[in-house]
Amino acid sequence: MPIVAHNDLPAFERLRAEGQNILPSDRALQQDIRELHIGLLNMMPDAALAATERQFFRLVGQSNQIAQFYAHPFTLDALPRSAEAQEHIERWYEPFEQVREQGLDALIITGANVGGSDLSGEPFWGPLKEVVDWACEHVTSTLCSCLATHAVMQFRYGQRRRPLGFKRWGVYPHRVVDVTHPLVGGVNTLFDVPHSRFNEIGRDQFEAAGARVLVESDTASVHLAVSEDGLRLVMFQGHPEYDTVSLLKEYKREVNRFAAGQRRDYPPFPDNIFSRKSGAILEEYRTLLCRELDRGRPPLALPEARIAACLDNTWRDTAESVIGNWMGLIYRVTHKDRRQPFMDGIDPADPLRLLA
């Protein structure tokens, strides 16, 4: 069943325009179908705030046909925001206190942009820990994306992420290495995942924390791992929620930073996303851009539309399958009243025992 548009969040209308099945709240109330309430802790910077909403809501909305999904976005007050972003948050987002009071069936925590490898000095550190500690006691499952995974591994398991010394960005092949877990049941055993990060958590660190590694890459390391109980924490290190053009837009931002003098080196291509033809177009653009800059002229616009038309998405179907499995597990394990911890007789420390 679809995501329920229980308010006027612009993301709902954008998804409806894409052809997504977004159900008005009055129609949802007429249907005798179980609700699942999904929180989205959005820590992304202002420019990516709305796009991140759509990316995760799109995945959730396509994932499962047996429930109505109510999405509850919220963020952390400790994150600095522009006036425009703050207005968006105050109008469409819910305070964490309200989310905590009403309860959730599942929670998604996005990544965030930070500079250093040690996250404990970041302004969001304490508030994020508060949210995660609450979720681990009161929410059936929390899905952490990229930096959120790194933060959870540090403050819950004492495993600090390691600097790579370069930016890992691009699309990389991954393999399912634990086919027994229901999260990866029925998905392709070999599939692509986008990554974009300067740091990583290694397999040895996940294993030291007692986590089960489900999906990894020879090049990009672990993508998907779960906490020891199998469901409480689902940890992504990649970005399966990314749109087809997400890495292109990130590349464009870095080129614009170079043109503005904000970075010294010209950015390299993200790995494995541009065709030979697109690479030639972008190399020609680089030559023209540098010539214009040397002459003191305004920078030329990157030919984004030409490149976007040649991009392929090689990860969306598997991402939808994994999220669909996740939603299915949550549906089967949670109490119909999300404010109750679990169904009678189910040990919260071992939620997958219900499925054995």
Rg, Å, the chain Cα set: 21
> Do 37 and 101 contact (CB within 8 A), yes or no?
no
Q: In 3D, which of 60, 132, 70 has the Cα closest to residue 325?
A: 60
> Do 120 and 51 contact (CB within 8 A), yes or no?
no
The DSSP symbol for 310 reads T
Encoded tokens for 330: 């949550």
Encoded tokens for 178: 């634990």
> Do 196 and 167 contact (CB within 8 A), yes or no?
yes
> Do 71 and 23 contact (CB within 8 A), yes or no?
no
Please name the amino acid found at residue 356: A
For residue 279, what is the enclosing H or E element? Answer: helix 276-294
How many other C-beta atoms can be found within 10 angstroms of the C-beta atom of residue 25? 12
Please name the amino acid found at residue 209: A
Q: Given 6, 37, 146, 223, which residue is catalytic?
A: 146
Residue 218, judged by CB atoms within 10 A of its CB (0-12, 13-18, 19+), counts as exposed
Evaluated on CA atoms 326, 331, 332, 334, the torsion sign reads: positive
Q: Is 241 a catalytic residue?
A: yes
3-state secondary structure at position 221: strand
Q: Given 241, 250, 254, 320, which residue is catalytic?
A: 241
Question: Cα separation of 333 and 335, whole Å?
Answer: 7
Strand partners, 108: 40, 143
Q: Given 122, 150, 239, 320, which residue is catalytic?
A: 239
Overall size of the chain counted in residues: 356
CB within 8 Å of 239: residues ≥ 6 apart = 111, 145, 146, 193, 194, 195, 196, 246
3-state secondary structure at position 61: helix
Annotated catalytic residues are 146, 239, 241
